Structure 1
């Protein structure tokens, strides 16, 4: 039975929070005693002091991971056996679902209704999906000279570092460690310092599921920890989700060290195109509001550029304002809340500065435009602007908050030109009643995911996720993600 607001508050008051790093099967404090504060953005409450991993902890974790990998106790375990342990891990995530959802809500300001229905179940599903996949894929027998047996196989890459973001902490982490563990690697998770709590808790659950020591470790800390992992000569692969700027630094560090594989899922400024033959304006408006205001706009796929045909602009904006009214910031522990708090003061100030920039540059405010509940926490109203053109700052830079830029266009070609005129290429959407138009526009949009007559659908793990251009490389989710964490080997046997 779902908990009430009061019951979530009571649960929060009794919650025990672990804040130490998890290395080689146990929780440990940083050798120098350094910590950082974990703060609830909805009320400013101090949640825990978190160990800030330093150079000694990075070295210990990498050595433990290498030892675990080289021993073969995980990498050489039969796929079926490895899958069973991962399924137990997924089951434990579900069993502790309320605890993990509460940690996520307190830590990142996310509505409890979302963490219980999307984030935690999605993480369990991801781990389970890869657990079920690993004993159902194989290699190849190459068609070569009959005097040779040619085998093409995949094997685990080794030690994988996963540097994960603060907007969907447990879900994005699972998209990395799920396939990496399934492939037989040892994994070191570096959660964001803005939201480290669920990753730290998951480590104990992984051990309880039967994962050998050193196979799943967690190093909390700031960018120095991520840099140390990216530069480490004994890490074989680093997977990162976050900003394009930091992604470039990680790719540089990977190249300057041992040329480790670097998989980057980066920023976005995704266009959501509404053509004049949109089949349902009200539905499209509701989807457009969700595309930018869900999770407080803290989404790399956020539909932050709404491109509306000039003939339907006024009618669409009227519907959009109705839809936006359903996203009002409130206590994240209330199950009825649709919009929580901005993750921390830095991001809060950044979002407000972009709102100021939009006003200064002459954009027309449609709704919102200011902070909310300033006496309680870091809340910002759902905000939308009609922009004077696609070159305004708020139309080009990733804000990562509940701020929408509405841009008008006169025909399909102009819409596609505006949509593709971005350094990013993560996602896009088009609304039309014409099947041919849907296919033609989808093909021309330079984005890793294109939605037609919907937005942000596709929680199914079968769809690869990632972007074009400066939105990164490689793909999370699907069997394609497994490929990222393996190396191809050709074996030729002369008969």
Structure 2
């Protein structure tokens, strides 16, 4: 298990910055000690990436495609090991790490391996005589990839695969809570034959991330994390005129239309809210239900939530794992206290199971109103808030009454009603009659305070390239 940083093809403890520990959230025990990258370490990583850029960008697209495909094969071959490491460091249950995180990472490398040979420019008929005009897409240069702790490997793949496919070099800064799987992936990239300096990994906390954002040699920052930090990065990148992609917080509404089949929608809604212990930006966290049926929905949702097995990844029956840290669990508990103090009703959950680790029983809050903090702020934990509505015309305004706009869900037997609501809700992704899903070909990103730009699909290619115009005189 690697704990050093990767800079310019060499594994190093860095230039002598302080160390920090990463813990197993299922037990609270220290797994490993890692080095905090200093500004000098970040500079070394950016310098290495800059030196590697020209030859990497000049590599034949077919060669880059072959290399990305080889990376995908190696990840797949080491899938069980990577899933176990992700579960150990992040707390994901094995159905999540092995059933989603690793396959999603493999999918993105294969998808963008296909794009590497299909990045095209265009020819345009101009109104200037005797001129041939065309465009070409070129890589940006050194890209800083800052990855969150909730889904370390898949979210890294959303950034890294298109960045490499388009000919960029990168410096990766994983979350300090969950660096181990990223370091193991970096080993596999070396094994696949990625040249030294093309991919660099620096470990550390906020100061390391700030040094990467501020470095003048970085052409683009791609960040997934909190809205507050995203705003700081956007401001810094704006002053430096750097390109930036931000996937930030969310407060996804799930709209249960009056004609919805309650029994059919309960389980996918519980899954949409509690996957990865609710530590998902797109988690369903506020459920809008017709007042005539809200008690039925709340009781049935609580019934499902209260029977989901809570435990570590080593428990094959566990569906709800721990929260990532003691600090984060305490934050979620404070929201539960605030919610009940403001008048919400704790229907089920919210307790700490016996034993160690950062576990919290899934909670369902009934009687929640639009003005409560639990209905407005991102909790990022296993807390489901149920709100009643009286008039279907209220639904889109209620769903949109939020600073966030990452995702939403709509449940209705009337496709006309569902489509109208999908068009009216301000969210980057809307799922109709289904639990959350993602695909490498489907654009992903948020509106409003949920971010800037898109990842995945063609949007991923666009995010890591710039367009050059070329004019040629014909006479």
Same-fold call, TM > 0.5?
Answer: yes
Q: What secondary structure does 1:377 align onto?
A: coil
Q: Do residues 486 (structure 1) and 460 (structure 2) align? A: no
Structure 1 position 296, deviation (Å): 0.5
Say which of 87, 95, 100 aligns to 1:118. 100
Cα deviation code 1:14-65 (max 9, x no counterpart): xxx2111111112100211521001101112211101111112101100000
Q: What secondary structure does 1:165 align onto?
A: coil
Cα deviation code 1:198-219 (max 9, x no counterpart): 1111111111111111111111
Contact map agreement 1:282 1:320 (CA 8 A) in 2: no
Structure 1 position 255, deviation (Å): 2.3
- Where structure 2 has 5 or more consecutive residues not aligned to the other structure, the ranges are none
**Partner of residue 22, structure 1:** 6
Please, what TM-score do these two structures have when normalized by structure 1?
Answer: 0.94
Say which of 217, 237, 240 aligns to 1:254. 237
Structure 1 position 85, deviation (Å): 0.4
**Partner of residue 7, structure 1:** none
Rounded to whole Å, the distance in 2 between the matches of 1:333 and 1:76 is 46
Distance 1:89 1:388, change over 3 A: closer
Rounded to whole Å, the distance in 2 between the matches of 1:293 and 1:83 is 36
Structure 1 position 146, deviation (Å): 5.5
Q: Do residues 302 (structure 1) and 286 (structure 2) align? A: no
Distance 1:73 1:335, change over 3 A: farther
Q: Do residues 62 (structure 1) and 46 (structure 2) align? A: yes
Q: Do residues 46 (structure 1) and 25 (structure 2) align? A: no
**Partner of residue 161, structure 1:** 144
Q: Do residues 357 (structure 1) and 357 (structure 2) align? A: no
Rounded to whole Å, the distance in 2 between the matches of 1:331 and 1:152 is 53
Rounded to whole Å, the distance in 2 between the matches of 1:450 and 1:300 is 14
**Partner of residue 172, structure 2:** 189
Cα deviation code 1:291-341 (max 9, x no counterpart): 111100000001001111112212222321232134232122222210111
Rounded to whole Å, the distance in 2 between the matches of 1:88 and 1:119 is 18
**Partner of residue 32, structure 1:** 16
Contact map agreement 2:221 2:244 (CA 8 A) in 1: yes
Rounded to whole Å, the distance in 1 between the matches of 2:229 and 2:310 is 29
Cα deviation code 1:161-213 (max 9, x no counterpart): 00010000001011011111111000111000011111111111111111111
**Partner of residue 10, structure 1:** none
- Where structure 1 has 5 or more consecutive residues not aligned to the other structure, the ranges are 1-16
Query: What are the within-5 Å matches in structure 2 for residues 253-332 of structure 1?
Result: 253-256=236-239, 258-278=240-260, 280-332=261-313
**Partner of residue 108, structure 1:** 90
Contact map agreement 1:293 1:327 (CA 8 A) in 2: no
Rounded to whole Å, the distance in 1 between the matches of 2:134 and 2:307 is 57
Say which of 208, 211, 218 aligns to 1:225. 208
Rounded to whole Å, the distance in 2 between the matches of 1:267 and 1:25 is 34
Structure 1 position 388, deviation (Å): 4.0
Q: Do residues 470 (structure 1) and 449 (structure 2) align? A: yes
Rounded to whole Å, the distance in 2 between the matches of 1:381 and 1:388 is 19
Q: What secondary structure does 1:31 align onto?
A: coil
Contact map agreement 1:38 1:49 (CA 8 A) in 2: yes
Q: What secondary structure does 2:267 align onto?
A: helix
**Partner of residue 181, structure 2:** 198
Rounded to whole Å, the distance in 2 between the matches of 1:61 and 1:172 is 21
**Partner of residue 321, structure 2:** 340
Rounded to whole Å, the distance in 2 between the matches of 1:404 and 1:117 is 24
Give the ranges of 4+ consecutive aligned residues of structure 1 lying more than 4 Å apart after TM superposition: none
**Partner of residue 85, structure 1:** 67
Rounded to whole Å, the distance in 2 between the matches of 1:185 and 1:439 is 39
Say which of 154, 170, 183 aligns to 1:171. 154
**Partner of residue 216, structure 1:** 199
Query: What are the within-5 Å matches in structure 2 for residues 131-170 of structure 1?
Result: 131-144=113-126, 145=128, 147-170=130-153
**Partner of residue 394, structure 1:** 374
Contact map agreement 1:109 1:342 (CA 8 A) in 2: yes
Contact map agreement 1:332 1:341 (CA 8 A) in 2: no
Distance 1:491 1:91, change over 3 A: same
Structure 1 position 136, deviation (Å): 2.2
Q: What secondary structure does 2:123 align onto?
A: strand
Bigger CA drift: 323-332 or 292-301?
323-332
Let me know the Cα RMSD of the aligned residues: 1.1
Rounded to whole Å, the distance in 1 between the matches of 2:372 and 2:329 is 21
Say which of 391, 395, 399 aligns to 1:415. 395
Rounded to whole Å, the distance in 2 between the matches of 1:180 and 1:440 is 36
